[in-house]
Chain A
Amino acid sequence: GDSVTQMEGPVTLSEEAFLTINCTYTATGYPSLFWYVQYPGEGLQLLLKATKADDKGSNKGFEATYRKETTSFHLEKGSVQVSDSAVYFCALSGDHGSSNTGKLIFGQGTTLQVKP
């Protein structure tokens, strides 16, 4: 079945450092890919998404490119801030044609801690 694998955390960085969180997936067809973020005490929020190969999703300085050849969707940010400290989840929604339900398959999450 479909699955998502993320790099294990926690990831600890100093402010203004470069961030990469790796995400790879296994799925049939052409899934849509997502990054969700969960700030302390808050619910899951969509950070960015990409719906087809070579698409780049971006938001709040974060980027991720849908790489079908490597089945990857790595999250990057050039300069992290303390306020980016959160748990980041990579997810996919499978491509099942007319029966696409939109359900999400999540990775296990990666905790990012940014120190001033």
Chain B
Amino acid sequence: DTGVSQDPRHKITKRGQNVTFRCDPISEHNRLYWYRQTLGQGPEFLTYFQNEAQLEKSRLLSDRFSAERPKGSFSTLEIQRTEQGDSAMYLCASSTDRGPVNTEAFFGQGTRLTVV
């Protein structure tokens, strides 16, 4: 297993365009998370999936953001009508609940979004 993969690594888009990011978690992990990290800050939680079900969404996730995890495998995060304030690193992480409580979350390398 190569760990958590995210694609693309970098995305530059014009304001108002839509963008979609993909995350491939570790194959046996049933939990998947999206976080956003801005420069000089720690990651902030956006949303959580247990298998294919989206069980929690942060208030940071405005109506322009949507995430899916069809079939409980890979996940996509779409941002519609991008704004300059959306510029950030978008991180995906996965873990499993089949074991001790709070097992380790493994992070991908992130997708860096720049909105110009």
Instruction: Mark A residues whose CB is within 8 Å of B.
Output: 4, 32, 36, 42-46, 49, 51, 89, 91, 93, 100-109
Report how far A36 CA is from B43 CA in the complex, Å. Answer: 11
Q: By the criterion CB–CB under 8 Å, are A46 and B105 in contact?
A: yes
Q: What class of interface size applies to chain B in its complex with A?
A: 20 to 34
Question: Which residues 73-116 in B have Cβ within 8 Å of A in the complex?
Answer: 91, 93, 95, 97, 100-110
A9, closest chain B residue (CB): B40
Q: By the criterion CB–CB under 8 Å, are A89 and B42 in contact?
A: yes
Instruction: Mark B residues whose CB is within 8 Å of A.
Output: 4, 31, 33, 35, 40-45, 48, 50, 55-56, 91, 93, 95, 97, 100-110
Q: By the criterion CB–CB under 8 Å, are B41 and A109 in contact?
A: yes
Q: By the criterion CB–CB under 8 Å, are B110 and A109 in contact?
A: no
The contact of A106 among B44, B102, B110, by CB within 8 Å, is: B44
Q: By the criterion CB–CB under 8 Å, are A32 and B48 in contact?
A: no
